[in-house]
Structure formats: structure tokens, C-alpha cells
């Protein structure tokens, strides 16, 4: 890429070292090395001199914000596979190219789905808190008895790449796989999983429900009181997809009533302002949205963003384009 006039990129979050090195090699970048929230004034100043934006999900790029972008901004890439923080229709109207990071988070997020599943099933939070408080008085036969996975049924909502990767791992723990998806997979992709064209038929027959679907207008608050009541008594909910999928008030009610045995959550509504009632519970195994947090995955995400930028400024279609 020519260095005489490199495109200027505003970066709203701190990036992994390898990604930063490649970015600075090929672009004139305004970095957020401190990884602190940018004020409106700082964001506006950076946008005013930027050719492109390298963002994350902490800022909502709604129609108002996108329509106000000056003409010099021609592309926005997001350090995420999810794009519910970007109004894609507004981006199209604005003529703004948008790219994300698909396909590189699959294995890392599936690992965390299993961690959340196991943590919830085996009462990991309650066990750790007992040790940390110095309250453990030794083994006894009825202490911290949890759910054994062998022979249980796992229902996956959204059988895309992450859902299928979770299913591969779950089979190794002896779980029978059920799934609900917009379309049934072919036999090779199903690998013996049992398809349900309606959630109503799957929820009452599985012991664990794992969410692997995107947050859309149709799936926001998918897990509400009706959904939870349809789940088998004593079952587990796992969410490593998006916090907006779950009505957290209804989830709390289902846990408090004992209808659910436990929950395993890596994502929350209104992050990072997590409902303290959820994370205070012994029956909620919770993580701070670390699904993609491996060195390889975070680097791969950044490189997807840079591949999109490279393609755009070289006059090629975005390899991971949304708009």
C-alpha cells in the first residue's frame, strides 16, 4: 500500500499488539491506547479527520449517528461478529461500507459455552465461594450435588457454526443433541442431532438449553417467562450469544422459584452494567463476555477488520462485508 498518503483510521478501542502493528504499518491511525471510553468531543474530532472507523460493540451506531458522519468517512469495520450495534439500513442509506469478523470466533465461543454449561451443571460458583470464604468442612455424600451430563439432552437454539461446534463438544460428554433452527441442516451437518421446527416441541424435552443465535428484532427477549415456563423443571439455561436474547427479570424469577436448576451466562443485557442480582446468585455461573478471548481469536478478528480495510482502499469488495 502506498505510504505517501495513507488512509486515516480512527480506532475506538485498544487492539491486540499484532493487529496494532499491522494497522500502523499500512495506515495513519488514531489509536485508543488507554482503552478508555471516548468522549463525544474526542469521537467527533477523530471522525472529522478519518477515512475509516475501526470500532467495537460498546458504541451504538444508530441512524442518527450514522447520518451525521461527514463525507470523509467511507467505511466502518467492527471488531465483532455481531452487528446489532450498527443500523445496517442506515449505513446503506449513508453509502457507508460495513464489515465484521465472521467465522473466526467459532471454536473459542464453543469452548466457553461448554464452560458455562459445566459450571452451571456442577455448581461451580457455589463451590468456589464456599472455598474462598473458608466454609468448606470436608467431603460428605450430599454436598454440592449437581447435574451429571451423560445421558442428558442438550437443546441448541441456532445451529450455525458456533451451535455445531458446541454440539461436537457436547457429544463428548454423552449429551444427546436437539436443536431449533430456521432451517433443518443436512444429515452430514446434523451428525444425528434431532431437529425441532418449533421451540415449543424442544424446550420440554431437553435438560439444558444453549443459545447460539444472533440478536435480531425477532429474537430479542426470546427467552421470556413463556419460554422459561416451557423448559423442563430443573433444567439449565446457557447464553454465550447476546444478552438481549434474555429477559433477565424473567430469568431471575425462574431461578428464584426453583423452576430452573441454574444458568451459565457469558453475556448480559446492558453490558457492562450487569444486573447485580444475577451475578450474586450461587446458581448463576457468570463470565464477563470472554467468549472470543483467546490470543489467536482476537488476532484473527483484528485481521478480518484489516482485510476489510485493505480491500476497500484498494478498490476491492470487502471479504467480510455486511454492507
Among the residues of the chain, which ranges form H helices? 17-26, 40-48, 63-67, 88-94, 106-121, 124-132, 161-171, 187-190, 199-202, 225-230, 248-256, 276-279, 295-313
How many CB atoms lie under 10 A from the CB of residue 298?
Answer: 20
Global pTM value: 0.93
The residue count of the chain comes to 323
What is residue 4's predicted lDDT score, i.e. its pLDDT?
A: 56
Looking at the fold, whether 149 and 240 belong to one and the same domain comes out as: yes
Among 287, 292, 288, which Cα is nearest to 102's?
292
Looking at the fold, whether 215 and 308 belong to one and the same domain comes out as: no
- Could you give the CA distance from residue 282 to residue 128 in angstroms, rounded to a whole number? 10
pLDDT per residue, tens digit, the chain (323 aa), is 444 589 999 999 999 999 999 999 999 999 999 999 999 999 999 999 999 999 999 999 999 999 999 999 999 999 999 898 999 999 999 999 999 999 999 999 999 999 999 999 999 999 999 999 999 999 999 999 999 999 999 999 999 999 999 999 999 999 999 999 999 999 999 999 999 999 999 999 999 999 999 999 999 999 999 999 999 999 999 999 999 999 999 999 999 999 999 999 999 999 999 999 999 999 999 999 999 999 999 999 999 999 999 999 999 999 999 99
CA 292 to chain centre: 8
Q: How many CA atoms lie within 13 Å of 18's alpha carbon, on the beta-carbon side?
A: 11
User: Per the domain annotation, does 273 fall within a domain?
Assistant: yes
Bridge partners (DSSP) listed for residue 28: 8
- Could you give the CA distance from residue 155 to residue 167 in angstroms, rounded to a whole number? 9
Looking at the fold, whether 133 and 263 belong to one and the same domain comes out as: yes
DSSP structure class, residue 103: T
State the total domains in the chain.
2
Determine which one of 176, 184, 271, 281 is catalytic. 271
Looking at the fold, whether 175 and 62 belong to one and the same domain comes out as: no
The phi and psi torsions of 262 (rounded to 5 degrees) equal -170, 175
Looking at the fold, whether 32 and 48 belong to one and the same domain comes out as: yes
The phi and psi torsions of 68 (rounded to 5 degrees) equal -85, -5
Looking at the fold, whether 272 and 307 belong to one and the same domain comes out as: no
Looking at the fold, whether 131 and 59 belong to one and the same domain comes out as: no
For residue 289, indicate whether it is catalytic.
Answer: yes
Determine which one of 164, 242, 248, 298 is catalytic. 242
Distances (CA, A) of 9 to 53, 168, 256, 299: 6, 39, 48, 18
Looking at the fold, whether 62 and 117 belong to one and the same domain comes out as: no
- Could you give the CA distance from residue 84 to residue 221 in angstroms, rounded to a whole number? 14
What is residue 132's predicted lDDT score, i.e. its pLDDT?
A: 97
What is residue 176's predicted lDDT score, i.e. its pLDDT?
A: 98
User: Per the domain annotation, does 14 fall within a domain?
Assistant: yes
Domain of 204 in residue numbering reads as 106-286
- Could you give the CA distance from residue 182 to residue 180 in angstroms, rounded to a whole number? 7
CATH number at residue 152: 3.40.50.720
What is residue 5's predicted lDDT score, i.e. its pLDDT?
A: 87
Looking at the fold, whether 93 and 195 belong to one and the same domain comes out as: no
Determine which one of 83, 232, 289, 298 is catalytic. 289
Amino acid at each position: 500500500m502506498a505510504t505517501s498518503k495513507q488512509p486515516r483510521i480512527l480506532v475506538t478501542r485498544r487492539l491486540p499488539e499484532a493487529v496494532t502493528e499491522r494497522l500502523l504499518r499500512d495506515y495513519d491511525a488514531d489509536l485508543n491506547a488507554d482503552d478508555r471510553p471516548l468522549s463525544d468531543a474526542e469521537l467527533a474530532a477523530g471522525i472529522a479527520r478519518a477515512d475509516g472507523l475501526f470500532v467495537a460493540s460498546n458504541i451504538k451506531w444508530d441512524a442518527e449517528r450514522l447520518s451525521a458522519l461527514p463525507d470523509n468517512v467511507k467505511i466502518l469495520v467492527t471488531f465483532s461478529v455481531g452487528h446489532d450495534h450498527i443500523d445496517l439500513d442506515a449505513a446503506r442509506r449513508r453509502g457507508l461500507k460495513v464489515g465484521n469478523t465472521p467465522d473466526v470466533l467459532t471454536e473459542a465461543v464453543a469452548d466457553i459455552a461448554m464452560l458455562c454449561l459445566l459450571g452451571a451443571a456442577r455448581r461451580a460458583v457455589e463451590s468456589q465461594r464456599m472455598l474462598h470464604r473458608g466454609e468448606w468442612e470436608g467431603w460428605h455424600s450430599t454436598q454440592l450435588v449437581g447435574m451429571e451430563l451423560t445421558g442428558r439432552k442438550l437443546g441448541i437454539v441456532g445451529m450455525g457454526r458456533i451451535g455445531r461446534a458446541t454440539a461436537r463438544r457436547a457429544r463428548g460428554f454423552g449429551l444427546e443433541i436437539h436443536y431449533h433452527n430456521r432451517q433443518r441442516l443436512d444429515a452430514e451437518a446434523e451428525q444425528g442431532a434431532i431437529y425441532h421446527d418449533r421451540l415449543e416441541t424442544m424446550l420440554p424435552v431437553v435438560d439444558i438449553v444453549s443459545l447460539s443465535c444472533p440478536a435480531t428484532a425477532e429474537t430479542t427477549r426470546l427467552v421470556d417467562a413463556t419460554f422459561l415456563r416451557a423448559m423442563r423443571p430443573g433444567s439449565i439455561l446457557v447464553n454465550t450469544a447476546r444478552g438481549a436474547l434474555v429477559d433477565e427479570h424473567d430469568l431471575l424469577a425462574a431461578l428464584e422459584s426453583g423452576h430452573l436448576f441454574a444458568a451459565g451466562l457469558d453475556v448480559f443485557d446492558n453490558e457492562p452494567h450487569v444486573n447485580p442480582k444475577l451475578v450474586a446468585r450461587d446458581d448463576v455461573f457468570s463470565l464477563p463476555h470472554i467468549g472470543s478471548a483467546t490470543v489467536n481469536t482476537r488476532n484473527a478478528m483484528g485481521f478480518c477488520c484489516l482485510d476489510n480495510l485493505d480491500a476497500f482502499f484498494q478498490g476491492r469488495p470487502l471479504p467480510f462485508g455486511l454492507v
